[in-house]
Amino acid sequence: MGGKQPEPANVSSKSESMATNKASPDLLNSLSFKSLKLKTKQQELLIRVSILGLVYVLAFIARLFSVLRYESMIHEFDPYFNYRTTLFLTEKGFYEFWNWFDSESWYPLGRIIGGTLYPGLMVTAALIYWTLRFLRFFVHIREVCVLTAPFFASNTTVVAYFFGKEIWDTGAGLVAAALIAICPGYISRSVAGSYDNEAVAIFALLLTFYLFVKAVNTGSLAWALGSAFGYFYMVSAWGGYVFIINLVPLYVLVLLITGRYSMRLYVAYNCMYILGMLLAMQIRFVGFQHVQSGEHMGAMGVFLLMQVFYFLDWVKYQLNDTKLFQTFLRITVTSAILVGGIALGVGTASGYISPWTGRFYSLLDPTYAKDHIPIIASVSEHQPTAWSSFMFDYHILLFLFPAGLYFCFKRLSDATIFIVMYGLTSLYFAGVMVRLILVATPAVCLISAIAVSATVKNLTSLLRTKQKVPQTGSMKGAGSSKASSKVLLDQSQPFQKNGAIALLLGVFYLLSRYAIHCTWVTSEAYSSPSIVLAARGAHGNRIIFDDYREAYYWLRQNTPTDAKVMSWWDYGYQITAMGNRTVIVDNNTWNNTHIATVGRAMSSYEDEAYDIMRSLDVNYVLVVFGGVTGYSSDDINKFLWMVRIGGGVFPVIKEPDYLVNGEFRVDKGASPKMLNCLMYKLCYYRFGELVTEYGKPSGYDRARGVEIGNKDIKLEHLEEAYTTSNWIVRIYRVKPPTNRL
């Protein structure tokens, strides 16, 4: 785009010099006028580039709250695994990484890391790291990992600009870039330190969509190829690529149904699908799923349908007889659908095509996971979204979105159809699962940007036409809407101007509220690393609970290097990454039985649990306990999920045994099984001697606000190995068996 800019400049300067030859008296006048005109164009470019540059920087720095407030560190759970693998990749090289069998997790099974992860994020970070090293910037890999997410968020704003430009105009592009730069829905997953797949995946997702829409608009093979590579990057980075491989065919199908089939679409989709599929197969974790799994069959069906359409087009061209063609059409379409249906049926029946996975089902049916896969339902980010979190994450975009949809429908094109479909489907998924708000965010931002841009443009053109009637030509792209406003203007002039000003002020007020809200949300809600907890003290001072790292570092330094640690799966990644010790289960929840075994051990009596732990070679047991600090997301509050997941595989564990009248209690009224299960004992061991709050009896659990029911806990097979300073993490050593007599 930039390359074409000076071209008209040269042309016009030529014409200008010709003009000077003809009329020398006008020289000064024409020169200044012409150069001014040139300047406005260059100025526009300058303004656009500088706005985009500012947005780019803004997107980056808005995500640095956590670094400034805490430190440059990796957040949450999954990012620790990503960090550990990236470290491995940079230390050992790509081939070692690709063939890495990790014996530190899922003991005794182990995990083939290279074949069970999306390597895109790690490879990206490693490439950035190696490039910086090559340029003699000797940064630590941790800094690269921490800043990968903000960096890619910045890149996303650029893609959003081009996408907005493609579907509407440059103004919408700029607004989209600005909106997405600070949208909390996106920031929640891309603050500095949240080194997760989503950090690069949203960039890849939007890039793929943009390139595909561009390909559809131009029919160019090059853009389609670009889109295929974008898809490849997305597949390498995140499992959410399934969304692309279903949305794009759905979009194509809609275009086919609405009679918008064109050669451009044919080129774009075929190239993108075939190449994208072949490239995606290179990722070991994905493998042949594109031809074997139920989730990917839609794309293949649409691909075949596309060929049928092309064939029919060709036949229509050859036949010239409409009646004959109609019959032919009927026969072909019926047989094609029939053949496709049979192939799908045979494939599914023979087991060649795998059925849909649980996660996919749970997306289509929000209640599915609750009944069938408790492990998916147990994750808080897999819960259905509450209305408040929509408001929290989108703020005014929630109102602008329908307005944008209205504008899109008013100016329907291939591109706007795409964005509408993307917006509507992703918004549905966002309603099903909290974490998918992230996927919907770019669409919501783009559609809202259209609304903002179109409204502001209409309003400003209204004001301008009022002031300088002859200079209407200076605004381009406003097009038909401006013409209509002019008509309106003629009808009621004085009223219109004030109204426009008021509305403009209203828009700017709303946008400024949005900016304030986003900053507030980012700083208050999304910039906490969750591994370091901060609280306000009685005198307003900041108290830091760094117990997690205390415990993990203790494990790392003071336990045998081959020690096996059993904990609930949430902490698995952190223990391996920070504690450098082998864990039984971790956040890669690939083996439900193994997790259920741990859940069963935690919910059994100590001697039963001891047998399970012996069979798993467990040396240490780690529990998270918030009773002293009032930290509510601890293992006692997660305990029912352990029971449910354990009970799902081992029917000995029954949920009602742990409840009293359907109520989960830890005080005196708790069920006897609850009061004596391993988890209860490990959390509350010697807690009864402690006075946690002034004026409360000893053994008062601050997280649940009750006095515990079993204060006299004796451990037989385990002993306290370490408890952190605020009791948040407690580690127990499993004693060797006593001598048999």
Partner 1 sequence: MAARIWILAVVVAVFLSLSAFSSAQDLQIVNAERRIDLSSQIVKAFLTLKVENIGKDPVAEMLLAFPPTQIKHLAMVQALAITGKKKKKTYLPLDVKPSEQPDAPNDAGFFIVSFATPLGPGETVKLEVLYILTHSLEPFPVEITQSESQLVYYHDSAVILSPYHIKQQTTFFKTPSTRVESFTSIEPANRAGKEIKYGPYEDRTPYSYTPVIVHFENNSPFAVVEELVREIEISHWGSLQITENYRLTHGGARHKGVFSRVDYQSRRSISGASSFNALLAVLPPRVNSVYYRDDIGNISTSHLRTGFRKSELEFEPRYPLFGGWKATFIIGYRVPLEDYLFEAPDDRRYLNFTFGCPLVETIVNKLTVKVVLPEGSKDPSAVLPFTVNQDLQVKYSYLDIVGRTVVVLQKDNVVPTHNVPFQVYYTFKPIYMLAEPFMLVSAFFFVFVASLAYVHIDLNIAKK
What are the residues binding partner 1 (CB under 8 A)? 2-7, 70-71, 73, 136-138, 532, 544, 546, 549-550, 552-554, 556-558, 578, 686, 689-690, 719-725, 727, 733
Question: Least Å distance between CB 67 and partner 1?
Answer: 11
Burial of 469 (0-12, 13-18, 19+ CB in 10 A): exposed
Minimal distance in Å, beta carbon 107 to partner 1? 22
For partner 1, the closer CB: 135 or 741: 135
Give the residue among 732, 735, 733 at the shortest CA–CA distance from 717. 735
Beta-carbon-side half-sphere exposure of residue 54 (alpha carbons within 13 Å): 9
Q: Which of 154, 176, 152 is nearest to 164 (CA)?
A: 176
Q: Which is nearer to partner 1, 365 or 720 (CB)?
A: 720
CA pair distance 591, 125, nearest whole angstrom: 28
d(CA 197, CA 122): 9
With 0-12 / 13-18 / 19 or more C-beta atoms within 10 angstroms meaning exposed / middle / buried, residue 223 is buried
DSSP 8-state secondary structure symbol assigned to residue 385:
P
> Rounded distance, CA 279 to CA 286, Å?
10
Distance of CA 468 to the CA centre of its chain: 47
What 3-state class would DSSP assign to 624? Answer: strand
What minimum distance in Å lies between the beta carbon of 560 and partner 1? Answer: 12
If the CB atoms of residues 33 and 130 are measured against partner 1, the closer one turns out to be: 130
* Pick 264 or 733: Cβ nearer partner 1: 733
Closest CB to partner 1 among 178 and 721?
721
Sign, Cα dihedral of 695, 696, 698, 701: negative
Q: Which is nearer to partner 1, 2 or 662 (CB)?
A: 2
Q: Considering beta carbons, is residue 550 or 655 the nearer one to partner 1?
A: 550
| Other Cβ atoms closer than 10 A to 715 | 15
| Closest CB 687 distance from partner 1, rounded Å | 8
In the bound complex, what is the minimum distance in angstroms from residue 618's beta carbon to partner 1? 17
- Alpha-carbon distance values, 725 to 548, 553, 556, 704, 706 (Å): 10, 13, 17, 20, 22
Length of the chain: 741
* Residue 258 beta carbon to partner 1: minimum distance, rounded to whole angstroms: 33
* Shortest distance (Å) from residue 740 CB to partner 1: 22
Between 22 and 714, name the residue whose CB sits nearer to partner 1.
714
169 versus 547: smaller Cβ distance to partner 1: 547
Judged on CB neighbours under 10 Å (0-12, 13-18, 19+), 738 is exposed
CB closer to partner 1, 514 vs 685:
685
For strands 533-536 and 542-545, give the pairing. antiparallel
Give helix 197-218 / helix 120-134 axis angle, nearest 10°.
100
Nearer to partner 1 among residue 394 and residue 631 (C-beta): 631
Are 543 and 499 in contact, with CB atoms under 8 Å apart? no
Closest CB to partner 1 among 467 and 557?
A: 557
> In whole angstroms, how close is the CB of 501 to partner 1 at the nearest point?
37
For partner 1, the closer CB: 136 or 539: 136
Least CB distance to partner 1 at residue 552 (A) = 7
Shortest reach from residue 542's CB to partner 1, in Å: 10
Shortest spacing between CB 428 and partner 1, in angstroms: 39
Tell me how far apart the alpha carbons of residues 547 and 279 are, in angstroms, rounded to a whole number.
44
Centre a 10 Å sphere on the Cβ of residue 609 and count the other Cβ atoms it contains. 26
Give least dist CB 79 to partner 1, A.
Answer: 13
Q: Which residues contact 684 (CB under 8 A, 6 or more apart)?
A: 625, 627, 666, 699, 701, 708, 710, 711, 713
Q: Which pair of structure tokens corresponds to residue 682? A: 């490990």
Dihedral class, residue 696 (left if φ above 0, else alpha if ψ from -120 to 50, else beta): beta
Burial 106-116 (b: 16+ CB within 10 A, else e): bbeeebebbee
Least distance to partner 1, CB of residue 587, Å: 17
